[in-house]
Structure 1
């Protein structure tokens, strides 16, 4: 299977790790995962500071290597909400609850372009120990750490 996933991945937290891990699980050991990583310009719209592209790329690559996935993978710059997903030949798009509406939009735009619909796989958000969603914004505010533990 060829799987696509995208994000800013900064800071790389438990929710991001779940998203990436599920992408590799769906691809299978002989599949391929294409990771769209937001460019510095596109990530600049975030409400919290974001590390430079090359640093985020190194963190994602390190996580993948640590997990020992055997599927082929590559990272491509994501300069808008769609990236290459509108025209690429792939099977599954993995998204979070937050980005599921964008995935539906991608399938609609693919159909209008004469491309086949791809399967959408939605990952539920990972909750912090306070029962609220782990997010980069909460981490940057100092509320929680990357695993969702409260910072006291």
Structure 2
């Protein structure tokens, strides 16, 4: 490729744009995990698009208000302090401004009378505009969620 080949330069610019969108989306997923470590439902919901959708085994939530309410109810059920970790993200560029990331997650938790551990998978579709990203769709599939006293034997 030479700088005088406009088609090659245009192809390179498209590749760089895809890579930048993928990296922006991946970084946003880490902002989501950090927000869950000290969750404020409205702040977690603000990481989604206005019409974002959250799918979980506990039900689905749509729109920022619905997503904030989902996390508010979750905190009422389990107010334990948690730490979230995202592992092995597989990032796929779908189209301009849309990236899908499939990843594993882990969490640890501690409450007044118990310690918890859990893991599962996320599938996220993330809208990217310039340096900004928002989750358009998130599917959370919990594989294990337990306390350390009970354990996770098969």
Structure with larger RCO (C-alpha < 8 A, sep 6+): 1
TM-score, normalized by the shorter chain, greater than 0.5:
no
TM-score range, shorter chain: under 0.3
Larger Rg: 2
More strand by share: 2
